[in-house]
Structure 1
Amino acid sequence: MSEVDLDLRGLTEFTANPYPYYERMRAAGPVHTIRTDDFDRVWLVVGYEEGRAALADPRLGKDWRALPGELGGDPINANMLEMDAPDHTRLRKLVARAFTARRIEALRPRVQEITDELLDVMLPEGRADLVDAFAFPLPMTVICELIGVPDLDRSAFRKLSNGVVAPAGPAEEGEAIRAMGAYLGELIRDKSRSPGDDLLSALIAARDEEDDALSPDELVGMAFLLLVAGHETTVNLISNGVRALLGHPDQLAALRADPGLLDGAVEEMLRYDGPVETATFRFARERVEIGSRTIETGDPVLISLAGSDRDPARYPEPDRFDIRRDTRGHLAFGHGIHFCMGAPLARMEGRIAIRTLLDRCPGLAADPDAAPFDWLPGTLIRGVRRLPVRW
Structure 2
Amino acid sequence: MTHQTPAFALDNPFDQAFFKDPYPTYARLRRTGPVHHITLPDGSPVWLVTREQHVKAGLTDARLSVNKAHSRNGYRGFSLPPALDANLLNIDPADHIRLRRLVSQGFTPRHVERLRERIIDAANRFADRLTDKAEADLVKEFANPLPLAIIGHLLAVPEEDSRSFSRWVNAMFAPEYPGHTAEAIDRIHHYLLSLISARRTHPGDDLLSSLIAARDDGDKLSEDELVSLAFLILMAGMENTQHLISSGLFTLLRHPNQLEELRSHPDLMPEAVEELLRYAHPNQMAIRRFPIEPIDIDGVHIPSGDTVLLALASAHRDPNRYPDPDRFDIHRTDKSHLALGQGMHYCLGAPLARLEISTALATLLQRFSHLRLAVAEEHLKWRASFRSHALKRLPIATK
Do Structure 1 and Structure 2 share a fold, with TM-score over 0.5? Answer: yes
1:49 to partner: Cα distance: 1.0
Q: Which residue of 2 aligns with 1:233?
A: 240
1:353 to 357, 360, 366: 360
1:159 to 170, 175, 191: 170
SS at the partner of 2:308? strand
Q: Which residue of 1 aligns with 2:62?
A: 58
Q: For 1:1-391, what aligned pairs fall within 5 Å after superposition?
A: 4-8=9-13, 11-38=15-42, 40-67=44-71, 73-151=81-159, 152=162, 153-162=164-173, 174-209=182-217, 211-368=218-375, 372-391=379-398
SS at the partner of 1:333? coil
Does the Cα contact within 8 Å between 1:271 and 1:327 map onto a contact in 2? no
RMSD of aligned Cα (Å): 2.4
SS at the partner of 2:132? helix
Does the Cα contact within 8 Å between 2:70 and 2:290 map onto a contact in 1? no
Number of aligned residues: 386
Does the Cα contact within 8 Å between 1:114 and 1:138 map onto a contact in 2? yes
1:243 to partner: Cα distance: 0.6
Query: Per-residue CA shift, 1:274-332, capped at 9, x if unaligned?
Result: 03111111111111111221111001111111110000111111111112112432111
d(CA) in 2 for partners of 1:180 and 1:69? Answer: 30
d(CA) in 1 for partners of 2:192 and 2:252? Answer: 37
The structure-2 alpha-carbon separation of the partners of 1:38 and 1:213, relative to structure 1 and needing over 3 Å to count, comes to: farther
Does the Cα contact within 8 Å between 1:135 and 1:239 map onto a contact in 2? yes
Q: Which amino acid aligns with 2:293?
A: E
d(CA) in 2 for partners of 1:292 and 1:17? Answer: 30
SS at the partner of 2:18? helix
Does the Cα contact within 8 Å between 1:374 and 1:385 map onto a contact in 2? yes
The structure-2 alpha-carbon separation of the partners of 1:159 and 1:116, relative to structure 1 and needing over 3 Å to count, comes to: closer
Moved more, 123-132 or 178-187: 178-187
Does the Cα contact within 8 Å between 1:168 and 1:377 map onto a contact in 2? no
The structure-2 alpha-carbon separation of the partners of 1:271 and 1:133, relative to structure 1 and needing over 3 Å to count, comes to: same
Does the Cα contact within 8 Å between 1:76 and 1:180 map onto a contact in 2? no
SS at the partner of 1:356? helix
Does the Cα contact within 8 Å between 2:48 and 2:310 map onto a contact in 1? yes
Moved more, 214-223 or 35-44: 35-44
d(CA) in 1 for partners of 2:348 and 2:85? Answer: 17
Does the Cα contact within 8 Å between 2:172 and 2:182 map onto a contact in 1? no
The structure-2 alpha-carbon separation of the partners of 1:168 and 1:329, relative to structure 1 and needing over 3 Å to count, comes to: farther
Q: Which amino acid aligns with 1:126?
A: A
Query: Per-residue CA shift, 1:339-371, capped at 9, x if unaligned?
Result: 111111111111111112101101000012798
Does the Cα contact within 8 Å between 2:13 and 2:25 map onto a contact in 1? no
SS at the partner of 1:329? coil
Query: Per-residue CA shift, 1:179-199, capped at 9, x if unaligned?
Result: 443343333333334332211
TM-score (norm 1): 0.91
Query: Per-residue CA shift, 1:366-386, capped at 9, x if unaligned?
Result: 012798333223233321121
Moved more, 85-94 or 369-378: 369-378
Does the Cα contact within 8 Å between 1:280 and 1:380 map onto a contact in 2? no
1:178 to partner: Cα distance: 4.1
d(CA) in 2 for partners of 1:258 and 1:80? Answer: 38
SS at the partner of 2:89? helix
Q: Which amino acid aligns with 1:102?
A: R
Does the Cα contact within 8 Å between 2:70 and 2:305 map onto a contact in 1? no
d(CA) in 2 for partners of 1:91 and 1:241? Answer: 32
d(CA) in 1 for partners of 2:220 and 2:264? Answer: 51
SS at the partner of 1:231? helix
Does the Cα contact within 8 Å between 1:60 and 1:282 map onto a contact in 2? yes
TM-score (norm 2): 0.89
Q: Which amino acid aligns with 2:83?
A: P
1:235 to partner: Cα distance: 0.5
Q: Which amino acid aligns with 1:31?
A: V
SS at the partner of 2:329? coil
Q: Which amino acid aligns with 1:279?
A: A
d(CA) in 2 for partners of 1:80 and 1:371? Answer: 39
d(CA) in 1 for partners of 2:170 and 2:378? Answer: 22
The structure-2 alpha-carbon separation of the partners of 1:356 and 1:190, relative to structure 1 and needing over 3 Å to count, comes to: same
d(CA) in 2 for partners of 1:48 and 1:387? Answer: 30
Does the Cα contact within 8 Å between 1:191 and 1:200 map onto a contact in 2? yes
Moved more, 34-43 or 363-372: 363-372
Moved more, 115-124 or 252-261: 252-261
